[in-house]
Amino acid sequence: MNPIQEHLSQITRRHFFKTGGLGLGTAALASLESRHLQAQNAPAEMKASGGLPGVPHFAPKAKRAIYLFMAGSPSQLDTFDYKPSLDKLFDKDLPESVRQGQRLTTMTSGQSRFPLAPSKFKFTKHDNGGEGAWVSELLPHTAGIVKDISIVRSIWTEAINHDPAITYICTGNQLPGRPSLGSWLSYGL
């Protein structure tokens, strides 16, 4: 047997993955460092606008942006979406006209009925310079600054499970791997 074949026959799976992992980690580190070095050597005008060499970029128009997406936050029905008609419909079944045959999640597929329930919290209407904004008692400080914030109520997805819906809202696709809105904001600013 020649020396190379003899050496290869003695390599264990553990040794292979250990050395392979080191090589992969080294390649990843080199990739990260090359970006850092490119950014250091970039012309002053690119540094000022946050761009990298070879990447089309522009000077940002906004000074700052705050984007809050709180997965796991309190329900919109308990914070900003006041639904007074739910008080009258308490414990009545969800009409089929609302569900429109939408398939059920694994968690709810065994339920025999789908009762409606209103929020347990009180809502008050606050001046926002327009029609007014309903805010629950859970957010007293936010109620005082509704003129200064935007409340978006038009976001929805066809996903029936939370994780694909969250991924869709953040990236525009239910499958993970696409750049998120936070990435686009970082790129644009």
Query: What span, in angstroms and rounded, lies between the C-alpha atoms of 141 and 143?
Result: 5
Q: Is residue 48 located within the same domain as residue 96? A: no
pTM above 0.75, yes or no: no
Same domain, 53 and 88: no
The domain tally of the chain equals 2
| Claim to verify: residue 52 and residue 92 sit in the same structural domain | no
Q: Is the pLDDT of residue 156 over 90?
A: no
Each as own residue / partner, the long-range contacts of residues 62-65 (CB below 8 Å, 24 or more positions apart, any chain) are 62/188, 62/189, 64/189, 65/185, 65/189
Q: Which domain-ending residue is among 68, 93, 118?
A: 118
Range of the domain at 108: 84-118
- The pLDDT-based confidence of 19 (bands split at 50, 70, 90) is low
Q: Would residue 90 count as lying in a domain? A: yes
In three-state secondary structure terms, 18 is: helix
Does a structural domain hold residue 20? yes
Flag whether pLDDT at 149 surpasses 80.
yes
Asked if residue 50 lies in contact with residue 56, where contact means CB atoms within 8 angstroms, the answer is no
Q: Would you say residue 114 lies in a domain?
A: yes
Has residue 127 been placed in a domain?
no
Last residue of a domain, one of 97, 118, 139: 118
Give me 62's structure tokens: 């906004």
Q: Which two tokens stand for residue 113?
A: 């009925």
